Amino acid sequence: MRSTTLLLILAYATTLVVGRPATTSTSATTAAEAPHNSGQVEIFTHCNRPGVFALTFDDGPDKFSWGLAKRLKDQGIKATFFLNGENSVNVLTDSTMTDEGEKTYLEVIKHYYDSGHEVASHTLKHINLVGLSEEQVKEQMNKQSDIIYKATGKRVRLMRPPEGVVDDVSSKVLSELGYYDIMWDVDTKDWEHKGLKAEQARIREVMDKDVANKTMGHIALEHDIHQDTVETLVPWFIQYVKQKGYEFVTVSDCIGVEPYFADTNSTIPNASG
Ligand SMILES: [Zn+2]
């Protein structure tokens, strides 16, 4: 069920046009350039079938996350959240007021999961993985895995590298740890705060070209740490995607992989995995 090499090449071409993060290091191998021979992490930029759509949110949790997870659930929508432990908030020490009382951020992560959404890793501290040692990459991934495990009892397999970039070292470590590298093919660039019209234009630039029953489903990038994203962009985006007749799915469903390790005590899968 994995994408063929041809599809991956096409996806990279798309990513290079619409999905490339603004910040890259000169020494960086972008995810789009990473080789796919064994030993390197497997990269996905879109779904493996038409008619589905994966809404993804990075950099949380934050104070808008609880309500967003609930509103999506109330609309029957499943999303995927790529979480940091120490970024916008410190998950292990901070808490937030919600419409259901004060909640710790570990409870917010559990709430994502209990609301039917998928949880995934965006590293512990949102550090660009390019140039890090194997040990440093492992620390970023394993400590974040521990935090999500503490909140949900699940060991995640989906990750998104900060700024969308990996190099050979981090790619190899991610592969050894059993992760899938989840990129995107629809970039809202909501972090630029240029307003809904600019975000709509970027989404339409990709999705208005879709051919029914033919174009592979999309993975769209947003950030639930921004109020305008949660309150303005998301409601419009949902209507737009629904009007196109797409089904909202989690990333694991969209690409056809397991989101969590079956053995919840392990951080490292069998060597051949
Ligand atoms: Zn990020």
pLDDT surpassing 50 at residue 271: no
Q: Decide: helix, strand or coil at residue 162.
A: helix
pLDDT score recorded for residue 37: 55
pLDDT bucket at 16, cuts 50 / 70 / 90: very low
Residue range 108-121: average pLDDT? 98
Q: Decide: helix, strand or coil at residue 134.
A: helix
pLDDT bucket at 265, cuts 50 / 70 / 90: low
Query: What does the pLDDT look like over 41-73, one tens digit per residue?
Result: 999 999 999 999 999 999 999 999 999 999 999
Question: In angstroms, what is the span from residue 80 Cα to ligand 1's centroid?
Answer: 13
Question: In angstroms, what is the span from residue 112 Cα to ligand 1's centroid?
Answer: 18
**Hey, what domains does the chain have and what are their CATH numbers?**
38-207+216-255 (3.20.20.370)
Residue range 222-244: average pLDDT? 97
Pick from 190, 157, 188, 187: nearest CA to 174: 157
Query: What does the pLDDT look like over 176-195, one tens digit per residue?
Result: 999 999 999 999 999 999 99
**Catalytic (active-site) positions:** 58, 223
Total-model pTM: 0.84
Distance CA 16, CA 22 (A): 11
Question: In angstroms, what is the span from residue 163 Cα to ligand 1's centroid?
Answer: 6
Q: Are strands 186-187 and 52-58 parallel, antiparallel or unpaired?
A: unpaired
Contact criterion met (CB below 8 Å) for 117 and 72: yes
Q: Which residue has the tokens 């994203």?
A: 229
pLDDT bucket at 263, cuts 50 / 70 / 90: confident
Question: In angstroms, what is the span from residue 190 Cα to ligand 1's centroid?
Answer: 11
Question: In angstroms, what is the span from residue 214 Cα to ligand 1's centroid?
Answer: 30
